[in-house]
């Protein structure tokens, strides 16, 4: 439809398609039309009053594509023929179904690294944001023609693990190992507290760290392996619930060797050097003073996180023939990740120039930063439980269903609620997590979207709807808005792909749901004169809503 507008204007003005496309806008209200062409720029060029130009163009236009073309001040307003538009849009959706909105915009093999929890530590609300985002971006990339490899990278060695093992051995040795993340997290918090009380214990911890790296003590190795696996098993359940499946899981412990080798080569190439006993890159030497100093190896020769990330980048490109590698990592690591990328460039790595950073702002508590050290955080499992309990209450108010169905629905609602809350906001914005306010299923929330979908499906069920041919007469206002909303979806996808912003899709889904609910309220479907058409419209709406939710990584419910 936009194309028709462009074509029409092009016929009467000496402008290129691109110029026109950039000028065309959507009027602030439907009474002003569906598309508008502002004449300011042309007015300036021709040194004529834009309002006169608008009048002129309007008089000349004789296209039959539009219901009406009208000059209003300096604007030429186009009114699209809604009946034609509805027919076209609904038929497209009917045909393409879950592929509606999908478009081949890219054709690359892309790795998306996200989530990155550490073993022996809490999986908290902050991880939910990163995980939801990674999954959603992956789906958007796939939906637009790319092949995606989902990668997870976890810290399973180092000082924090040593502290955990120390705490367990010293204070909980008789307890059975559990796979609950809350238990795992609590051992770590206790370690930090005890170490503050008795700083002299730090020596014991360092001894454990040494033994752990050398692998000399069998008993310790066993405990490490076993507890590490507990964390991994706990994640499996979490990722399953969050609808995420990683193609590959990397661990820090596997990267020590390749990292050391890579750092060695950097020293050889004189990119890195020894300073105060540690191996570093001073970016001042590379005329990149703004990147500061990048630390690779400690004094004692052990590899730091940065060194391992370099090794990992190499490994990723070696293992998979990637076109691109995305890192979804907290904003606080921005400098660090740019140091990694610059180093890859200096080393002429395969990963150079193909690695990209997607910065993610943190999830905070009203009281400040979340920390797995102090336990000042909201664990995934605890938050989920509260959401599930609330969902159960709400369901029980409305329906009598068996336990199995109740469990299924409440979990899905809980996940939708948390994911949507994490995705609807811009990545650059810090989310201040207020637990009380987060547990709400009304308004701009995930459950509202699920509810809208379930309502639509309920109509189709009751009408015993089957797809067949349909006729469209005149559309009323709420039908028109709904059709227009459905027509917009492919554009939203394109923009979301270009900017890697799931929030655009989240906002769109909410708008669509609002428009649908308005339509639902004003129009009776079953038993109305327009039943056949309205059923198609309901079917299409539910389909598009489902597609949008899919891209957010949110599953729908047929009944809620």
**Between residues 180 and 437, which has the closer beta carbon with respect to RNA?**
437
Contact region with RNA (CB under 7 A), list: 89-97, 264-272, 375-383, 440-448 = 440-448
Per CB under 7 A, does 261 bind RNA?
no
Contact region with RNA (CB under 7 A), list: 130-138, 235-243, 389-397, 483-491 = 389-397
**Between residues 180 and 491, which has the closer beta carbon with respect to RNA?**
491
Least Cβ distance, residue 176 to RNA (angstroms): 27
Per CB under 7 A, does 145 bind RNA?
no
Identified binder of RNA from the candidate list 11, 16, 40, 265, rule CB under 7 A: 40
Least Cβ distance, residue 174 to RNA (angstroms): 29
Per CB under 7 A, does 14 bind RNA?
no
Q: What share of the chain is helix, strand, coil (3-state, %, to 5)?
A: 60, 10, 30
Catalogue the long-range contacts made by 471-476 (C-beta closer than 8 Å, 24 or more residues apart).
Answer: 471/532, 471/533, 472/83, 472/86, 472/87, 472/533, 473/83, 473/530, 473/533, 474/83, 475/82, 475/83, 475/86, 476/522, 476/523
Residues touching RNA, count (CB under 7 A): 100
Contact region with RNA (CB under 7 A), list: 72-80, 225-233, 314-322, 541-549 = 72-80
Q: Count how many residues are written for the chain.
A: 560
Identified binder of RNA from the candidate list 14, 18, 28, 466, rule CB under 7 A: 28
Identified binder of RNA from the candidate list 17, 240, 265, 430, rule CB under 7 A: 430
Identified binder of RNA from the candidate list 346, 440, 490, 532, rule CB under 7 A: 440
CA torsion sign, 276 to 277 to 282 to 285?
Answer: positive
**Residue 302: both structure tokens together:** 């052990």
Q: Enumerate residues 310-369 that contact RNA by CB under 7 A.
A: 331-336, 359, 361-362, 368-369
Per CB under 7 A, does 75 bind RNA?
yes
Per CB under 7 A, does 100 bind RNA?
no
Q: Enumerate residues 184-243 that contact RNA by CB under 7 A.
A: none
Catalogue the long-range contacts made by 455-462 (C-beta closer than 8 Å, 24 or more residues apart).
Answer: 455/517, 455/520, 456/516, 456/520, 456/538, 456/539, 456/541, 456/542, 456/545, 457/542, 457/558, 457/559, 458/559, 459/525, 459/526, 459/535, 459/538, 460/535, 460/538, 460/539, 460/542, 461/558, 462/526
SS3 string, 425-443, reads CCCCCCEECCHHHHCCCCC
Contact predicate 75/36, CB 8 Å: yes
Q: Side-chain half-sphere of 64: how many Cα atoms within 13 Å? A: 0
Least Cβ distance, residue 133 to RNA (angstroms): 13
Per CB under 7 A, does 477 bind RNA?
no
Least Cβ distance, residue 525 to RNA (angstroms): 4
**Between residues 175 and 393, which has the closer beta carbon with respect to RNA?**
393
Contact predicate 20/9, CB 8 Å: yes
Separation between Cα atoms, residue 120 and residue 236, nearest integer Å = 14
Identified binder of RNA from the candidate list 493, 525, 544, 552, rule CB under 7 A: 525
**By three-state DSSP, how is residue 79 classified?**
strand
Per CB under 7 A, does 451 bind RNA?
yes
**Between residues 349 and 410, which has the closer beta carbon with respect to RNA?**
410
Cα 199–chain centre separation: 41
Least Cβ distance, residue 273 to RNA (angstroms): 9
Per CB under 7 A, does 526 bind RNA?
yes
Per CB under 7 A, does 431 bind RNA?
yes
Per CB under 7 A, does 462 bind RNA?
yes
Identified binder of RNA from the candidate list 91, 376, 394, 555, rule CB under 7 A: 394
**By three-state DSSP, how is residue 111 classified?**
strand
**Between residues 72 and 147, which has the closer beta carbon with respect to RNA?**
72
Residues 6+ apart with CB under 8 A from 412: 450, 555, 557
Per CB under 7 A, does 25 bind RNA?
yes
**Between residues 175 and 206, which has the closer beta carbon with respect to RNA?**
206
Least Cβ distance, residue 504 to RNA (angstroms): 6
Q: Enumerate residues 285-304 that contact RNA by CB under 7 A.
A: 290, 292-293, 295, 297-299, 304
Per CB under 7 A, does 32 bind RNA?
yes
Residue 149: closest CA among 311, 350, 317: 317
Contact region with RNA (CB under 7 A), list: 125-133, 231-239, 274-282, 541-549 = 274-282
Residue 4: closest CA among 20, 15, 19: 20
Least Cβ distance, residue 398 to RNA (angstroms): 6
Per CB under 7 A, does 495 bind RNA?
yes
Tally of CB atoms within 10 A around 419 = 27
**CA separation, residue 127 to residues 236, 374, 425, 526 (Å):** 14, 17, 15, 44
Identified binder of RNA from the candidate list 46, 159, 248, 365, rule CB under 7 A: 159
């Amino acid at each position: 439809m936009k194309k028709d507008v462009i074509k029409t204007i092009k016929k009467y003005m000496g402008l290129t398609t691109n110029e026109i496309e950039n000028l065309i806008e959507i009027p602030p209200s439907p009474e002003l039309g569906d598309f508008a062409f502002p004449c300011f720029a042309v007015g300036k060029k021709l040194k004529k009053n834009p309002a006169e130009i608008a009048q002129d163009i309007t008089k000349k236009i004789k296209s039959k594509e539009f219901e009406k073309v009208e000059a209003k001040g300096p604007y030429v307003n186009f009114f699209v023929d809604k009946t034609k538009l509805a027919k076209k849009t609904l038929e497209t959706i009917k045909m393409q179904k879950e592929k509606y909105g999908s478009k081949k915009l890219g054709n690359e093999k892309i790795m998306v690294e996200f989530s990155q929890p550490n073993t022996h530590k809490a999986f908290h609300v902050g991880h939910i944001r990163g995980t939801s985002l990674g999954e959603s971006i992956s789906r958007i990339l796939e939906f637009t023609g790319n092949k995606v490899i989902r990668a997870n990278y976890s810290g399973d060695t180092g000082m924090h693990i040593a502290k955990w093992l120390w705490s367990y051995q010293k204070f909980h040795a008789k307890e059975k190992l559990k796979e609950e993340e809350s238990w795992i997290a609590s051992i770590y918090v206790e370690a930090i507290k005890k170490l503050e009380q008795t700083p002299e214990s730090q020596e014991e911890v360092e001894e454990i760290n040494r033994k752990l790296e050398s692998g000399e003590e069998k008993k310790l190795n066993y405990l490490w392996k076993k507890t590490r696996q507990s964390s991994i098993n706990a994640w499996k359940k979490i990722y399953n619930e969050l609808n995420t499946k990683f193609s590959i899981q990397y661990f820090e412990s596997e990267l020590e060797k390749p990292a050391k080798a890579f750092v060695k080569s950097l020293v050889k190439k004189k990119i890195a050097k020894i300073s105060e006993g540690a191996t570093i890159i001073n970016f001042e030497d590379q005329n990149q003073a703004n990147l500061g100093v990048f630390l690779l190896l400690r004094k004692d020769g052990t590899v730091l996180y940065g060194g391992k990330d370099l090794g990992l980048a190499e490994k990723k490109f070696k293992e998979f023939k990637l076109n691109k590698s995305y890192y979804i990592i907290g904003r606080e690591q921005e400098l660090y990740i740019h140091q990694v990328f610059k180093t890859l460039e200096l080393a002429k790595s395969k990963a150079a120039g193909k690695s990209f950073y997607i910065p993610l702002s943190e999830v905070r508590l009203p009281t400040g930063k979340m920390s797995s050290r102090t336990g000042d955080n909201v664990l995934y499992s605890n938050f989920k439980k509260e959401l599930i309990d609330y969902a159960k209450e709400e369901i029980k108010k409305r329906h009598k269903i068996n336990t199995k169905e109740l469990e299924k629905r409440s979990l899905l609602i809980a996940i939708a609620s948390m994911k949507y809350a994490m995705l609807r906001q811009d990545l650059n914005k810090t989310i201040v997590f207020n637990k009380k306010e987060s547990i709400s299923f009304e308004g701009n929330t995930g459950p509202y979207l699920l509810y809208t979908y379930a309502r639509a499906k309920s109509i189709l069920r009751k009408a015993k709807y089957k797809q067949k041919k349909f006729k469209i007469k005149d559309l009323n206002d709420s039908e028109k808005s709904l059709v227009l909303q459905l027509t917009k979806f492919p554009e939203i996808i394109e923009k979301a792909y270009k900017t890697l912003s799931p929030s655009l899709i989240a906002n769109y889904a909410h708008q669509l749901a609002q428009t649908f609910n308005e339509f639902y309220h004003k129009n009776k479907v079953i038993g109305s004169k327009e039943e056949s058409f309205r059923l198609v419209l309901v079917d299409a709406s539910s389909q598009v809503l489902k597609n949008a939710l899919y891209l957010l990584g949110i599953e729908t419910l047929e009944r809620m």
